[in-house]
Structure 1
Amino acid sequence: MSSRFVLLVGLVACLSVGCRDQGAVKLTISFPNFKPGCIRVSVKDAQGTGEERSTELREQLTGKKRGEKVTVAAFREEGWGSTLTVTATAFEQQCSQGPEFTASDSVDVGRGVSSAALTLVADDADDDGYVSKASGGTDCNDDEATVHPGQKELCNTRDDNCDGKANEGFEQLGQQCGTGSITCQTWACNTEGAMSCQELTPEWYRDQDGDGEGDPKTGVSQCAQPAGYVNNKLDCDDDNEERYSAAAEQCNGVNDNCDDEVDEGFKIGTACTGDLGCGGTFECATTAKSECRVVTSTWYLDLDQDGHGAKDTELKYCGTMPPGSNYVDSSDDCDDTNKNVHPGVAELCDTLDNNCDGQKDEGLGVGETCDPGFGCEGIRECAADGSTQCTPKTLPTKYYADNDLDQYGRDDSVIQTCGTPTAGYVAQGGDCDDDNRFTHPNAAEVCDQADNDCDNDTDEGDVCPTTPEWANHSSTGSEPWRSVALHGNGGVWVAGANKLHQRKPGETDFDDLSTCTTGGDVYTVAATPGSGDALLGGNAGFTARYAPSTEQCTNNGQQEVNTHIRGVTAIPVGSDIEAHFVGLNSDGGADKGRAFRVLTPQGTNYDNQSLSEAVYDVHGLSQDALFAVGGANSSRIYRFNSSSGNWGTESVPSGGLSLLGVWVVNPKLAYAVGNNGTMYSWDGSTWSKVSNTPAENLSSVVAFGSHSIYVTTLLGKVYHYNGSAWTKVFEVDPAAPSPLRDIAANHPGDIWVVGDKGKRYHWPQ
């Protein structure tokens, strides 16, 4: 024993005589699952100063049993620090011989006495003084006390002495023995563990690889030894001559000696201490030896905590990740200050090399031409969120659906395009009522109880009289006013029977121009575009034209057209004006209706056409939007065909009665009205029946859009539709109803209605 180790009693004695200030460790060593044959105890300065001191305990273990303890004292040497490293190494039988079982700890002793405990871990289940191979010992069968190294080998097919061989010294086993007539006598093990010559047929096993040991799966029973067979079945791999029971075990992960164990004797998998003081396990270094492989890892600082560390920040560490640190096991981050930059991340469009491949914004198509939609040419650019966007080189123009064709569209119908907009779309929005062409931003405010200029005010600017109402401008007689037309800015034509009255623009009284209608029974009047000439039509083909510029009446009289004229309209055709007249056939033919037209009215070159049903009104804006309506007991609508010059019958839903009035608002909107509330609307291609109309005979109609419609009735009333409901806005005399025959308007603040008994009314004054 070294002079610096004593038994516990010696330590106590030393303490009693004043050596307390040296510093010492009271070390208790336990071995709960085996009894060592020898224990070496060593002590050294934890910082490596001076030499290590050690002693071996042998006698102290005499009489000790598995599960007991031994206690020693270790003193601090002069010059050592206050921290000592104590180590206990156990051996199965003799010190420095056989497998080792080690435990170690560091103890801060100062100049006093500190206690420490070490536990030596190994298993000797059969208590035969040899540790099981499973825990790093040499006992090949720790369940049998008579099996261990040094044990006498018996003839019993068992490896009694744990040398990797069974029945050594009994090599004649399985060979023939004896003489005489008995030929199948074989050397075999008896019950006493000895070899004797016994009467039995030997078992032979194929030795494919020629290593002297047979394959247990190929047994053959016969007296004589077959060629290529041996009298044992010890081989665990008969295709590999290097694997057999007598082979030396190598450190290679293979059971070389067929003992059902792999790499025994090399401590593979057992704990050890290696470089940096790191704990590790024994692993194969070569086929002949193992070495302590420590779990040492290299870590790199990860400042941006994106899971990737920076180069040149290497940290060596034992075991797993350093606790409480920002270290990771990779060093591939090319920017450790930005968590959006590291290998494996999706490349963002941000002018950074996000995935650390040496390129920026690769694969994103930056700078390439693209299609941003809207018919525009675009270029691929980075977006604020790191994605890409196709930016138009020229921003698309916004267009708005213009349903009422007033060149203003509603804001909720916007489309964008760099090309030609869809038909029916305009570049101005803000229309607060896209179903009334007199309502849009910058529109003239008129007296119609509506917000015409979309400024959220109604009838502002003194456009209405103090009390707006339907003003009475009736004539003094009992004239049956059947038709009214407007011209210029405030000009009015009124006609019926043999009467024609005019109110000139800017005046308040009507002039009697009935000399132009003498001898005629007039039903209709229309104003020509531009000049405002009055075109008149009546019974027996009566026509006339009055020009306000010359105050002359021309072409008045009956024409050879065989028509009782009931409606007339004038439309521009190129630089000319084309007049269309419609009515009833007056020659007694089978066809009940008739239509004719003439250029530059009023000439005499009439283009006549017979129609199957009588027609009572005609209206249009051009040859492509020109309709005539009528019918006897059902509704009939005709449309002019500009290509053929003929009138064709339109498809109309059933259920309607005779139609008396028609009004074309624009090329995509028209209305026709008639008896018993009959009303149809046209959307540019199809006529549809309108429901919930006033239940009266509707004589005429004028409209400014689908949300602003006025109709007159033969009971002397005017109804207005605002897009959701019909409202009666005027009545001639509830006590004595008088028919209203026609209605005309320049805009919602300038409306005229006329009827029987000289009735003429104007909204709003």
Structure 2
Amino acid sequence: MPPIDRLVRSALLALGACVVLALACYEVPEVRDYYSCKEDAECGDGGFVCDDGVCCREREDPVCIGRVLDAGTDGGTCLDGGTPQTFYEDLDEDGFGNLTKPLYRCSPPQSVPTATNDDDCNDNPNASGRLFFPGAPEQCDGFDNSCDGVTDEGLDGGLYYLDEDNDGFGDPARTGTFCQRPVGWVDNRNDCVPDSGTSYPGALEVCNGLDDDCNGTTDDTAQIGQACTAPGKLGVCAEGARACVGGKDVCNPVRTPAALDTCNAKDDDCDGTTDEKPDCGGPIRFAGDPSVIFGARHLGSALQGVMGECLKDSTLPNATPADVVTGDVWTGSGSTSHVFWAERDGGTWDLSRSLTTLKLFADVSSDAGTGTNRDGGLSRWSDHGQPIVLLCGPGGFLRLVPSPAILDSTGTEFVRQNIPLPPTSTSGWVVGLNSSSDVPGVLRQVKRIEVIIQPAASGGGFTFDFQPDFGLP
């Protein structure tokens, strides 16, 4: 038999081996850091459980601080006898917990962020969870950031209009509703030309066929109506006003040629010449001018050179025998007044130009009886200032009287009178009574020049032979 001590040693060795094996089976896993387990199975056998990331024993060393004792039977208690508390995962660490992830613990978990409320509506940090919690400011993202059941409240949620041409005004036909205004959109719909950055309310209107300032009117530029010179036009016809036609800036004439060229330093009839005769200043010679008509009347009244109107169209009766005008020679007989006229056939003459002169050139004779004139001599003419000259027009008439009288003898009178219009104090002619007060107005529109004479007696006749220079030089 083996010796006793050998048996004892063998038994001790076997017992040691068993202890070693036992210790190997129930050894507590090495705690490398605070987070060494995620579930109980990772802690092995021997009563170890996983509590808040560490392996521990519920009532032994190492003690499970957060684990609830007897949680399945009586609601559980804590190691210190306190009451457990429910915590909620707060993965986004915004201070608000996830209702779907409760943790029943005796102390706040260390392995996962938690909160003591379950008010979070988005606890996913990978899905902008930090932007979601009660009282969070709303973001323009289409979500309920403040967890109150309403999306994007507090933001305007308004209607916006696309500003494609970037002029600050929106296209009324292209709308969008956004909680905040996106880039390229505006809150007005006032653009009238959405694809033009130069057309918007208040823009400068230019002549281009567009309503640049969006006022409902196209091409109403500030230059419209301004004075300009019409191309290719003469005289007053070159006076124009700017207009916009078909998107082009043009100068439209505002004057048409006048029938007469008045004495106003303007080319009224637009022929390239200013103040030309016969319109301004009258014809140089009446005789031979196709626009001048001659005529005469034997009036049935002795007017003595005093009249209040022109006589060609007066209501005085025509006496017999009638006066005759042959060419530019006027003949007649009788002691009543006679009138001769040189008249413009259509229109008037403007005799208002400075230094205009009526050239009254005629050879005048009579075989009528004689009478005593005012100076005591004999004359074949009635005793008043003769001949009288009347300037007749639509604006009135002027009665021009020689001073002294020219026809005051028995012989042939060679009348060579240059009568300034209007007469001057040194010319030997005056503006007689009954004349129109607006002398310049009459001179601007003279239709007819009348010459009035009155023989001294009814017997015999007279001849008034106008010379070729009779006219308005």
TM-score, length of structure 1 as denominator length? 0.22
More contact order relative to length (CA 8 Å, sep ≥ 6): 2
| Larger Rg, first or second structure (1 or 2) | 2
